[in-house]
Amino acid sequence: MEVIVPFSTDRPKSRLSAVLDPDERAAFARAMLRHVLDAIRAAGGEPRVLATGPVDADLACPVEVDERPLTDAVNEVLDARRGDDGGEGDAGDRGEGPVPVAVVMADLALATPEALRELFAAGRETDVAVAPGRGGGTNAFVASHPEFRVDYHGASYLDHRRIAAKVGASVAVVDSHRLATDVDEPADLAEVLIHGEGRAASWLRETGFALDAADGRVGVERE
């Protein structure tokens, strides 16, 4: 399955500025991206990075640069994909009918191959499979319905449910802690240190971050 991974190179992870300087934020964003790409490959997916600018790293997968906002860039991919196969795929991924395409965000530092396999399997059985994020976002989805498009503004999970209903697409919701946890705030780093495996968690530990359970609350501290 083709998996599109949007990645921002413009001031990445600015909300982590209280704990990481600009160079560190860029390095951590790349570590999370590599983690997600590793998990996608291990799950049997074929990743393609959709970046807002050139990526200074060898990712061992295609990288396409699109400077437009996320919604426009992803919809362009969906438009091109439907145009390529005319809305009809081959029998390789879902029998006869449209071929599913997945979109997985680059900051899912807890993602595992098992969680992604669950998402991919759901996407092969329904028109749209969505993994919602905390706070109502959309962290990953698989879509094969030729009329489904995205809108990442606001509570995008609810928007995508409405869009799917409007075009008559069936929807499956994949409730996964590992896919629901995107890393945006300093508090999210504790989740990575507690549950994370792979490049993102290793980068934090190598940079000197550790868990801090002072005052009965789990957070992070830096040596």
pLDDT computed for residue 84 by the predictor:
57
pLDDT confidence tier of residue 202, bands split at 50, 70 and 90: very high
Q: 33-75, pLDDT tens digit by residue?
A: 999 999 999 999 999 999 999 998 899 999 999 999 999 999 9
What is the pLDDT averaged over residues 189-217?
91
The alpha helices in 64-128, defined as continuous H runs, are 70-85, 113-125
- Global confidence as pTM: 0.91
User: What is the maximal distance between C-alpha atoms in the chain?
Assistant: 59
- Quote helix, strand, coil % in the chain, to nearest 5: 40, 20, 40
Does residue 89 carry a pLDDT above 70? no
Strand pairing of 171-173 and 219-222?
Answer: unpaired
Question: What span, in angstroms and rounded, lies between the C-alpha atoms of 37 and 41?
Answer: 6
Other Cβ atoms closer than 10 A to 76 = 14
Q: 165-187, pLDDT tens digit by residue?
A: 999 999 999 999 999 999 999 99
**List of domains in the chain:** 2-180 (3.90.550.10), 188-222 (no CATH)
